[in-house]
Amino acid sequence: MSTVTRQEIAKMIDHSLLHPTMDDRALKEGIELARKYHVASVCIKPYAVKMAAELLRGSDVMVGTVIGFPHGNSAVEVKVFETEKAIGDGAVEIDMVVNTGKVLSEDWDYVSREIAAVVSVTKKHGAALKVIFENDFLPQDKYKIRLCELCSEHRVEFVKTSTGYGFVKQPDGSYNYSGATPHDLALMRKHSAPGVQVKAAGGVRTLADTLRVRELGVTRIGATATESIINAVEGEASGTAPEGY
């Protein structure tokens, strides 16, 4: 089906363990699945970082978590505190949601200060920072382009499309999201410095999806259907992610 290896695909995956209804048992099962398949990292709810770090000690799976999640509305000082706490608990990757309201206000000084404040913490501790744009909330490319420029200026490690929870009202009145679209991924790769990687999150659910975004320059994905994606490399049968995860 593909010339890529299971290891190559596994090391693209941040196994997402963020759904609000996931209890401790579900989190532990998710951590063990991540260990089994040797993925890049688990991206786990902040209160469970310490547990994940303990369970993954000695493995090749990193621990990541989210900051200002999912809407990015926390004060800068709170995001800094969250980052310090997460790293102290064992996180080595930080996915921080940018302040969408400030982006839409084009208050770029504020946005720049926010990114700078958080990245100063991650670089001090040798952790990676991924800045989440929540592209579904940004109606024009100019916002995404400017965010890529700022992230490049501050030398963050990744720019990221979505939280997976950025629901917007659809024409039929329902709420849904587009997530990591090919257009946005190509745009983010084009306008980010070569040293800034691109993470696709939201809607990458199959091996075919993963290979498509890989061709666009994506090096990491946020996934819940991790097992089925990896097993599909060799055509193995597998289940699907639970609805809503």
Instruction: Return the active site residues.
Output: 95, 160, 199
Cβ count within 10 A of residue 69: 19
Measured between alpha carbons, how far is 156 from 178 in angstroms, rounded to an integer?
A: 24
CA dihedral 176, 182, 238, 3 (to 10 degrees): 180
Q: What is the DSSP letter of 135?
A: G
Q: What is the DSSP letter of 241?
A: P
Measured between alpha carbons, how far is 109 from 128 in angstroms, rounded to an integer?
A: 22
Interior/surface letters 160-186, b for 16+ CB within 10 angstroms, e for the rest? bbbbbbbeeeeeeeeeebebbbeebbb
Measured between alpha carbons, how far is 188 from 130 in angstroms, rounded to an integer?
A: 13
Measured between alpha carbons, how far is 218 from 211 in angstroms, rounded to an integer?
A: 9
